[in-house]
Chains A and B, each alone.
Chain A
């Protein structure tokens, strides 16, 4: 081998560097970030508030001219809709679940579940029949659609009520300590017309709405890169993406939002909620949720909400900041973090994500964030399953729930009910409900000492 001249060597190094540089930018090595960044759950869009309003803050880094749009959207999020015709906020119903966004997403947080014997307020019920609709989504129930509306405007009949009952079962940790889980069963009552016996029913608690703009900003490639549908790496975890119908694009695209990742975008999630939960039509969903049913008012006033208000609401949610971590340096929290990782929780509850570069909206561009989700679907076992498919999501599959801000739930929402139907009454119960792909991680928690379990919970509370 001949000795290359020094200049040539330098050029080679530079050339390799130039080739590698773009890779370094698109996929930065997150192991290099400073420990200080771990406090910043939402990157630059992190707020320091551990009070009752922790979920309700505007992005701290946002051009001033955007603030007014956020405020308009905030008012829209809180606006109580009334039955038409009316001067202000008309268009509710004829059948609906609730009257405003904020009456389910209380303080921009997690909905309350109905007590035993109560009809539902901030939990709703999706229904469908086996099979799919023309877009690969759930097959609607004739006379009902795919969501039960349990309230109605005056002189209109609601679709049905759903009541919940719980059965307590006792389980043991390996050290002999016991824990209880409550198994819900649902009963449909007061149905306005007969429901088929084989109707599939799924309870859905209103999810927190902060930080969603950042989740929307994670590139599709990054989400798909973590998918491992056939468990090629043999770690027992096989996350897969949902693929759902985008009504604006008129195409099947990656699903990101909702308990089963069944909505592709914030805009569609919000427009769907207006339509199904409140009975308010928009340009995305201009047909009333009760079209073709006897409840239809045939007013011909659709869409009932203007695009400017719909988009303002979307902007409001897009720009809700994430609360910062607390007690990060507490030794117990540190120990809990190690246990979280070593038990395998972090294989799906991915701590570090980076939002894609976005020159059109620098506020969310290229941020290191800590949402603790991979946005993928995972089999969580039959006991947690709802048996109701939703696009690609099977009856036992759920999207990994983001864990950021979860430690403030008690403070903001006054309860600690977790999972899609709020069946878990504490963080540890939520952990112990995991099954399916998470069974081995759950088993590791089950065999922990009491001190280790306490540390794990303390860590979760610091999120």
Chain B
């Protein structure tokens, strides 16, 4: 080995040693070009598509629980249906950190998750005589289908529904609404499995006009993460807070709004870390290769936002009047997380992903 070679080797070793301090799990230098593509494959398959499959399964479980409630209407079956609603809600709220692609372009989101509920129209539906066929539910306005009318039927306006108080019309409507939710969640799942996952994972490859560069897919991910912060802090929380109007709360009957918001923010970390039902590579792995302090900054801001939401100890509709400082702090922390996502993280992607 000549001197020159030895010098090169030493430089290489030094570089490898340098990398080892930054890489996440082991001491080998990371091939970031491959990593950048692997992240997209993992996020589109094992995070996003997996989440929609999970949501479809949870929707089916909800429809089954409602079917059980319909055939045997007792409080245990009502509690089981309520739990199934909350279980599905966890998944959906997390997926709101990636509200791009078919869920938005096929207008699924408004049909699944519109609030507030149109009480009068809903009561009219119950009082009327129309058959709740799949086509009939399809044709209903957005505020008469999806999560929140289901929530209204399962919990009642005051949140104290009992099995004994269910009417046959309520049960029929409930069943039709949950079946509709199954169909819509299947539509999103199918759309990702049937092509959108590949489209997203092959960003930057020739012929991909939707995602013409790797960077465009990365920016899409970051925008999804940032937008949900914006939506939670400046919409879901701020609108009822500013108006001091609990009727504008997202999930008032189940008193589930804080859980909703928390899962929205949790979704951000799922996509950042590439971990949904299994561990995989995510943006985190790229960030940690180059900038450990950015990774720490993001995780600190994220943990602070979650902690601030957890500090609200009463249902959100009450908290907007009785725990105003906690609500304000939570909005501030979520906005601070937004600043990290939309600022340093976005700049990072613009610099390192082309």
- Using CB atoms and an 8 Å cutoff, list the residues of chain A in contact with chain B: 49-53, 71, 75, 80, 82-88, 92, 99-100, 102-103, 106-107, 112, 119, 121-122, 151, 153-155, 326-327, 410-415, 461
21 contacts between A and B (CB under 8 A): A50-B219, A51-B100, A51-B216, A51-B219, A52-B104, A75-B239, A80-B143, A83-B121, A85-B120, A99-B141, A100-B110, A103-B110, A103-B142, A106-B104, A106-B105, A122-B107, A151-B141, A326-B212, A410-B209, A411-B211, A413-B105
Complex: A212 Cα to B343 Cα, angstroms: 28
Asked whether, in the complex, the Cβ of A414 is within 8 Å of the Cβ of B101, the reply is: yes
Contact with A along B211-253 (1 / 0, CB 8 A): 1100010011001100100000011000100000101100000
Q: How far is the CB of B67 from chain A (nearest CB, A)?
A: 26
Q: How far is the CB of A98 from chain B (nearest CB, A)?
A: 8
* Chain B residues positioned under 8 Å from A87 (CB to CB): 116, 247
Q: How far is the CB of A87 from chain B (nearest CB, A)?
A: 5
B123 and chain A: residue at smallest CB distance: A154
* Chain B residues positioned under 8 Å from A155 (CB to CB): 124, 128
Partner of A154, one of B114, B119, B124: B124
Complex: A341 Cα to B220 Cα, angstroms: 33
Asked whether, in the complex, the Cβ of B120 is within 8 Å of the Cβ of A86, the reply is: yes
Partner of A99, one of B143, B227, B234: B143
Asked whether, in the complex, the Cβ of A121 is within 8 Å of the Cβ of B227, the reply is: no
* Residues 102-139 of B at the A interface (beta carbon under 8 Å): 102, 104-107, 110, 114, 116, 118-121, 124-125, 128, 139
Asked whether, in the complex, the Cβ of B120 is within 8 Å of the Cβ of A106, the reply is: no
Is B210 among interface residues, defined by CB-CB distance under 8 A?
A: yes
Tally of contact residues, B, Cβ under 8 A: 38
Asked whether, in the complex, the Cβ of A411 is within 8 Å of the Cβ of B248, the reply is: no
Asked whether, in the complex, the Cβ of B110 is within 8 Å of the Cβ of A82, the reply is: no
With contact pairs A151-B139, A155-B124, A415-B105 given, residues A86 and B118 touching in the complex (Cβ less than 8 Å): yes
Asked whether, in the complex, the Cβ of A83 is within 8 Å of the Cβ of B118, the reply is: yes
Complex: A323 Cα to B107 Cα, angstroms: 22
A161 and chain B: residue at smallest CB distance: B139
* Chain B residues positioned under 8 Å from A107 (CB to CB): 104-105
Asked whether, in the complex, the Cβ of B219 is within 8 Å of the Cβ of A80, the reply is: no
Asked whether, in the complex, the Cβ of A121 is within 8 Å of the Cβ of B121, the reply is: no
Add 11 more A-B contacts to A151-B139, A327-B212 (CB < 8 A): A51-B100, A51-B219, A52-B223, A52-B224, A75-B235, A80-B141, A85-B120, A88-B116, A88-B247, A153-B121, A326-B212
Decide if the interface of chain B is mainly helix, strand, loop or mixed: helix
* Chain B residues positioned under 8 Å from A82 (CB to CB): 118, 120-121, 141, 143
Cβ-closest 6 pairs across A and B = A414-B105, A82-B118, A52-B100, A154-B124, A51-B220, A99-B141
Partner of A52, one of B101, B139, B209, B212: B101
Asked whether, in the complex, the Cβ of B102 is within 8 Å of the Cβ of A414, the reply is: yes
Q: How far is the CB of B90 from chain A (nearest CB, A)?
A: 24
Q: Which of A85, A155, A414, A415 has the most CB of B within 10 A?
A: A414
Asked whether, in the complex, the Cβ of A154 is within 8 Å of the Cβ of B247, the reply is: no
Q: Which of A75, A82, A102 has the most CB of B within 10 A?
A: A82
The A-B contact count (CB < 8 A) is: 93
A326 and chain B: residue at smallest CB distance: B212
Asked whether, in the complex, the Cβ of B120 is within 8 Å of the Cβ of A83, the reply is: yes
Complex: A87 Cα to B128 Cα, angstroms: 22
A457 and chain B: residue at smallest CB distance: B209
Q: How far is the CB of A83 from chain B (nearest CB, A)?
A: 5
Complex: A415 Cα to B247 Cα, angstroms: 36
Asked whether, in the complex, the Cβ of A52 is within 8 Å of the Cβ of B124, the reply is: no
Q: How far is the CB of B172 from chain A (nearest CB, A)?
A: 16
A461 and chain B: residue at smallest CB distance: B209
Asked whether, in the complex, the Cβ of A411 is within 8 Å of the Cβ of B247, the reply is: no
Q: How far is the CB of A93 from chain B (nearest CB, A)?
A: 9
* Chain A residues positioned under 8 Å from B235 (CB to CB): 75
Complex: A87 Cα to B246 Cα, angstroms: 11
Partner of A80, one of B110, B120, B216: B110
Complex: A106 Cα to B107 Cα, angstroms: 7
* Chain A residues positioned under 8 Å from B101 (CB to CB): 52, 414
Complex: A86 Cα to B127 Cα, angstroms: 17
Contact with A along B191-221 (1 / 0, CB 8 A): 0000000000000000001111000100110
Partner of A86, one of B119, B125, B211, B227: B119
Asked whether, in the complex, the Cβ of B114 is within 8 Å of the Cβ of A80, the reply is: yes
B116 and chain A: residue at smallest CB distance: A88
Partner of A412, one of B105, B114, B219, B234: B105
Asked whether, in the complex, the Cβ of A88 is within 8 Å of the Cβ of B125, the reply is: no
Complex: A112 Cα to B108 Cα, angstroms: 13
* Chain B residues positioned under 8 Å from A153 (CB to CB): 121
Asked whether, in the complex, the Cβ of B216 is within 8 Å of the Cβ of A50, the reply is: yes
Complex: A161 Cα to B171 Cα, angstroms: 30
Q: Which of B105, B212, B223, B227 has the most CB of A within 10 A?
A: B105
* Chain B residues positioned under 8 Å from A100 (CB to CB): 110, 142
